[in-house]
Amino acid sequence: MATIENSKPVQFSHPAEEMFARILDFYGVVWQYEPRTFDLERNEKGKVKLAFSPDFYLPDQDLFVELTTLRPQLATIKNKKLRLMNELYPDIKIKLMKRRDIRDLLIKYGLYEETKDYHGREAQRGD
């Protein structure tokens, strides 16, 4: 059972997110999935042209967590979003967990074997 603040079923966009949620649940860490969207850029008419919804929010730590399985050379947009987040919302704590961080975490908690099918092109879906 998910340790989330609301009881709506969660539809994760990537298997790594589901595995991360399972680890949080195991340790009783309260979490929310994509609870907030931050406006990052607006056009000349004031319409939002770039926004960012971090994957998880851990309310007890007041921390947003963004997971990425993108290879470094493909992560330009995500890095731009994180840079803008830090500039526009300096009081918001956010941690980026990169591909290696996620793999190491899954190995540590015995979940890596379950995600082997999602490497390569499959790993890029949902990012």
Tens digit of pLDDT for each residue in 62-100? 999 998 877 766 677 888 899 999 999 999 999 988 877
Distances (CA, A) of 8 to 1, 66, 114: 12, 21, 25
Mean pLDDT of 41-56: 94
Pairing of strands 93-97, 63-67: parallel
pTM for the whole thing?
0.76
